[in-house]
């Protein structure tokens, strides 16, 4: 595959409805992981660490409801996408991509008490969702256009499955 074709296919993939929906699936799994972690924390709550209790309450009352809003907006994002308006999808991708900055304000001390295997359900899925969100945002927001060489750099985009990429060939295009 030529570098030019690879770039074109990556742009198609990163701006596709399918890629967006897969990102949102990882995001939904991350939220499920966070809810499971909070449930575990509530059942095994430390009685002496006020900071952990405070940050758990902030996640429960502020962070998770806001994070759930991004998930609830998925259907509207897709409706707008189908009408040719990509701004909604780009906005949700930006929100997910920059979520850590917002979560810094609520703190994460409570995660110290959650077993690693439970916390990992949140972390691994959120990491995947944020990487995909970054790819969507950079494609739709012009970041890759400003630095075209970065769209083919897997250190930037994450690993790309060549077989999946071939699904974005148009009729008549060949490798």
d(CA 112, CA 153): 34
Q: Where are the domains of the chain?
A: 18-143
The string of pLDDT tens digits covering residues 109-153 is 999 999 999 999 999 999 999 999 999 999 999 899 889 899 999
Place of tokens 């995660």: 111
**CA 4 and chain centroid, separation:** 27
- Would you state the pLDDT for residue 100? 82
- Would you state the pLDDT for residue 161? 92
- Alpha helices by DSSP H, listed for the chain, are 3-14, 17-43, 50-58, 64-72, 74-82, 87-97, 99-103, 116-141, 143-146, 154-157, 162-166
CA neighbor of 34 nearest in space, from 125, 106, 102, 109: 125
To the question of pTM greater than 0.75 for the whole model, the response is yes
The string of pLDDT tens digits covering residues 46-105 is 778 999 999 999 999 999 999 999 999 999 999 999 999 999 999 999 999 998 887 878
- Would you state the pLDDT for residue 175? 85
**CA 62 and chain centroid, separation:** 19
d(CA 151, CA 142): 11
> What average pLDDT does the segment 8-36 reach?
97
């Amino acid at each position: 595959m030529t570098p030019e074709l690879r770039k074109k296919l990556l742009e198609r993939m990163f701006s596709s409805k399918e890629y967006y929906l897969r990102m949102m699936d990882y995001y939904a799994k991350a939220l499920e992981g966070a809810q499971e972690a909070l449930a575990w924390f509530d059942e095994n709550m430390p009685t002496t660490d006020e900071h952990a209790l405070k940050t758990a309450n902030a996640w429960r009352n502020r962070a998770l409801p806001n994070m759930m809003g991004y998930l609830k907006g998925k259907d509207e994002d897709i409706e707008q996408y189908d009408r040719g308006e990509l701004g909604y999808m780009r906005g949700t991708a930006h929100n997910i991509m920059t979520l850590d900055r917002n979560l810094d304000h609520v703190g994460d001390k409570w995660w110290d008490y959650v077993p690693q295997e439970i916390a990992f359900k949140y972390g691994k899925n959120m990491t995947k969702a944020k990487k995909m969100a970054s790819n969507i945002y950079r494609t739709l927001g012009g970041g890759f256009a400003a630095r075209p060489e970065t769209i083919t750099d897997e250190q930037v985009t994450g690993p790309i499955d060549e077989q999946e990429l071939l699904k974005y060939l148009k009729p008549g295009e060949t490798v």
